[in-house]
Structure 1
Amino acid sequence: GYPQGGQPGFPQQGFPQPQGQPAFPQAQDYSQVPQVQQGFPQGSQPAYPQQGFPQASQQGYPQAGAPQQIPAQGFPQAAQPGMQSGFPGGQAPTAQAAPVPPPKPTFVAEPDKDCPYFSPMPNYQLRRSGSKDLEFTSFQFFDGTTMTAAEGRLWERTYELRKGAGPASNLQIRRNYANAMKSMGGMVLFDAACGQTKGCRGVTGDLMVGKAVRGGKALWLQIRPIYSFSGEASRYVLTVIETEAMKQEVTASDLLKRLNEQGRVALYINFDVDKATIRPDSEATIAEIVVLLRNTPALSVSIEGHTDNTGNSQYNKALSEQRAKAVTDAIAQQGIERNRLTSVGWGQDAPIADNATEEGRAKNRRVELVKK
């Protein structure tokens, strides 16, 4: 960076010629001038006298002659003594994230293998001491009109929001499980926010109640978000009761005897919820009806469908007709003449038990074999 002959030259882009200062005489001995550590390598180039120019660059001058890019902060590439923001080793600093403290341990629920029907909402976990499992008990469910006792195996789970996660609204939680119930072929009996429970004693807060049939077993589900003025739920309680579906063991001889004595037989043929699809666990009953009709060729019967009073009466009548026809078709498919069979649906108009209880409603959901 200096011309030959020992004179300290200045690049055009480097230090300007000092104004009003005499040039250094050639005879001057620079060996006695202290060397500047930051400006030039030791023992090679003279430092500037204190009265002439500032020692190490404070203005962003390069180290050795050739101009260099000045960092945006205004600091030179070489670190200045005592400057915390200087760049060590002539290298620009790289951004480093502040150290993050290790996360505090949180409780994470194990997969709920003992409650196979429903999973928790995203961002929610099983609360400590939030489980209750009973092999057999009774639980009161609100079906939209009354409190109904369901008996069977119980699973109860309390789920809470994971730390740092965003909560779901009470409505979102209720609708999530309502959709899950419908996807199982079930129905939603009640779904409402606080104040919509028709004043039923013992029913408070947001609530969703549903019912379905899975694998020949009836499932009752209740979802109760913990009340929140903001409309968000930090916790919610899931309750499931699994009950045995009504089963009936009949034989052709029993059917004939009861038809001769009473003129009709109530059969509890299981269908998918809100459908006319006969469930596999009722195929044995259909087979016994076929045996009866084969053994008594002179017998003709009417297949009559009935429902409980849940839902709309017109809908129930149509459903009962569809189910009666489904049974008639199943019998005819096994070789019984259709002119010996008729079908009709009565809906909820001919109950044989009290519709105010689940037991009574279960008895009213039937198909009757009537002697003609």
Structure 2
Amino acid sequence: MKQTSPLVASALLLAGVLSSCGSKDKAAGESATATVETTETTAPAPASAEPAAVLASEAPATTPAATFDINTVPVTDANLGTFPYLSALKGYQTKYSSDSVGFDFDRAYFFDGKNIIAVEGKMVSRTFRPVDSNKPASELMMQRNYENLIKSLGGVKVHSGIINEEAIKKLGEQEYDKHNGSVSTYRPTDTYVIRQKDKEVWIQVQPDDEKYNLDIVEKAAMPQQASVVGATELKKN
């Protein structure tokens, strides 16, 4: 048998070692490449925003406009007299038939500073004009007279100022105009309420140059008048 010389054997051994190292380096390189690709693929996404429910709970809630609470008004036992309770100023009158309108039952709207309140019951709506147009009362005198009178009867002022247009639009302009009594929306109005044990009276006073408007509603349920026609009634007809 032919023997391999020591020199050739050494060369072969060295080649095997180098080949083995090369394979290891290549494998390490491929492994590193795979690691990089895997890292890029599985890199965590940026932190997402908090769940909508959490954000919604943290957002400040919209506070609805407060509704006037009649229970905050003191109960008075003052003698109010006869409906409509409040007279005209001295030297003032309802000059035209259209200046005084009244119903046993109707609806009127009153502004409490935030909301428009519907008050139903017996009502009267009047426009008072000076008997002598050369001697009208000032708007301050109109306002102060009724304020003093109503407060002496135990009433309170609910609001003073122009009625909010947004509140009117929310209610509906046509509906408001149908039941706004004699007051206009572009002039300041004083709103009052008198609360008694068995009575609730709402009042609006609105100066309008030399004249002024006065609306009064005594809150009450509608008197039911219509009924089923009986046999007796049929015979009459």
* TM-score, normalization by structure 1: 0.31
Q: Hey, which of these two has a bigger chunk of helix by percent?
A: 2
